[in-house]
Structure 1
């Protein structure tokens, strides 16, 4: 399982490197940013780009082996849904958080000082003006819980499970596009951890770390209670077995 945790670290590092790179060119000083002055269009392009990146990472060979969680919230949810060993949750979470930091450091090294300066600021998120910690907590918990609930439903069917990477990409992309100016649209503690720590924007970090975990715990409990007769078939978000073979045995 140590090898799987290492793969989760790698996948999360690639995700964060990609996120910072996308934000650097879409939101930061660049010809692309200058050509797209509307913030909502920028968020739409950012969401589409991050969503496609997630699809690729989940469907990649490392993603198929480790499960392609790339988020502490997903690892917790898969454990609570009964398809991921509890002993592996903490190693996965640590690996994902370390990968988050490494991904941002790699972006800094390759893209230069512009990554750490405004408006990029290591792609760290902040809620919109007027948002309280309690409001942000509720929004992040609910939005992440909804995502996990839908993922859990899809992972109960061999046919639908194959669509989970695209479902995750679409839902995360939509969250970025729709919630970017309000909550930031994180939905993933690892998404915010590295950027916040390295940029020093720690004010709401505890919310971005804890709220998704609460949301997925509630969503998993509701799924387990409402769909007892149809168990989740795998912890791998690619919707297959580790070797890529199709799932069998749906009831």
Structure 2
């Protein structure tokens, strides 16, 4: 029999994940609009690598702030279906909450991007911004992109799992996640796009009508999250992951 209290908690936390992912994608759309799109900021930054560095740092800081926000502390601050799935695989997140979290994150992604379009106007939907939708560099096949996104997300989930298993490292997790996201954007932005989050591409791709590699960006990170769990177990044995909350404040010795 379903526990009404648990169901209400899941619903409330899912709503918070919707809000957090909405803010994340609105922020991403805003950052891309001003750093990549036509603006004084973009004109002052010569070369795509410097632009990606600014985008990576800005998005990384945004991720840290959202994880550490009151809503992030309550829901866990996932904002990423692969993270929610991984926390279930790690045994610290209820399986019944995975689907509601993912639905909330994907809905927040789409509405956040649409809000960005509403605020910034048609320039947010036109190239080179294109709703902040990602695409791999020319020459990338779906297979190559799938392997790269799987490996990238697998490394992130593995490191998060390791930090969540060692209480003294718990307080560093928000900064670890922000750093890893920033590095993915800077190092992979001109090759795979550096998504490492199904919600990062879902809303932008739908808003831009860019569906060619969408299935890869949605499924590959989930496989990476699945594969990270046995690797973590191999490295740490029976040491348990302590919490699904990325802010780390609920980790006890």
TM-score by length of 2: 0.95
Q: Which residue of 1 aligns with 2:252?
A: 248
Q: Which residue of 1 aligns with 2:7?
A: none
Selected match of 1:10 from 15, 19, 33: 19
Work out whether 1:141 is the aligned partner of 2:150.
yes
**Unmatched 5+ residue regions in structure 2?**
1-9
CA contact (8 A) 1:75 1:92 kept: yes
Selected match of 2:64 from 52, 55, 58: 55
> Deviations along 1:80-105, whole A, 9 cap, x unmatched?
00000001000000000000011001
Specify the SS of the correspondent of 1:125: coil
> How far apart are residue 208 of structure 1 and its match?
0.1
**Aligned-CA RMSD value:** 0.8
Work out whether 1:232 is the aligned partner of 2:217.
no
Count of aligned pairs: 244
Work out whether 1:223 is the aligned partner of 2:235.
no
2: CA distance, partners of 1:199 / 1:92? 24
> How far apart are residue 157 of structure 1 and its match?
1.6
Q: Which residue of 2 aligns with 1:244?
A: none
TM-score by length of 1: 0.96
Q: Which residue of 2 aligns with 1:202?
A: 211
Between 228-237 and 123-132, report the one with greater CA deviation: 228-237
> Deviations along 1:6-25, whole A, 9 cap, x unmatched?
00000000000000000000
Q: Which residue of 2 aligns with 1:24?
A: 33
1: CA distance, partners of 2:32 / 2:19? 20
> Deviations along 1:166-224, whole A, 9 cap, x unmatched?
00000010010000000000000000000000100110000000000001100012213
Specify the SS of the correspondent of 2:25: helix
Q: Which residue of 1 aligns with 2:111?
A: 102
Matches within 5 A, 1:58-77: 58-77=67-86
Specify the SS of the correspondent of 1:112: helix
Q: Which residue of 2 aligns with 1:85?
A: 94
Specify the SS of the correspondent of 1:135: helix
